[in-house]
């Protein structure tokens, strides 16, 4: 699964350094001095699932 999000920033250079520090890979074909493109890959759906998955309901409730 890949997720693409567009976020306006004051400094593309600083934002690029930040996301690279998180370990995300820069897509050089879609990036230039005005924009950086990162694909947030989560092949097994585990790492980022808390952000978009509904919590498991309590079966005892």
Quick: pLDDT tens for 23-38. Answer: 888 888 889 889 998 8
In a domain, 14, yes or no: yes
Percent of the chain with pLDDT over 90: 21
Does residue 10 form part of some domain?
yes
User: What is the span of the domain harbouring residue 41?
Assistant: 2-52
Is the residue at 9 inside a domain?
yes
The one-character DSSP state at 29 is G
Whether 23 is in a domain gets the answer: yes
> Does 25 map to a domain?
yes
Q: Which residues are 3's β-sheet partners? A: 40
Q: Is residue 11 in some structural domain?
A: yes
Number of domains in the chain: 1
Is residue 1 scored above 60 in pLDDT? no
**Rounded distance between C-alpha atoms, residue 30 and residue 26, angstroms:** 9
């Amino acid at each position: 699964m890949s997720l693409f999000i567009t976020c306006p920033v004051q400094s593309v250079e600083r934002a690029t350094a930040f996301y690279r520090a998180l370990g995300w890979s820069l897509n050089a074909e879609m990036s230039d001095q005005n924009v950086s493109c990162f694909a947030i890959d989560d092949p097994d759906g585990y790492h980022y699932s808390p952000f978009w998955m509904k919590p498991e309901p309590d079966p005892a409730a």
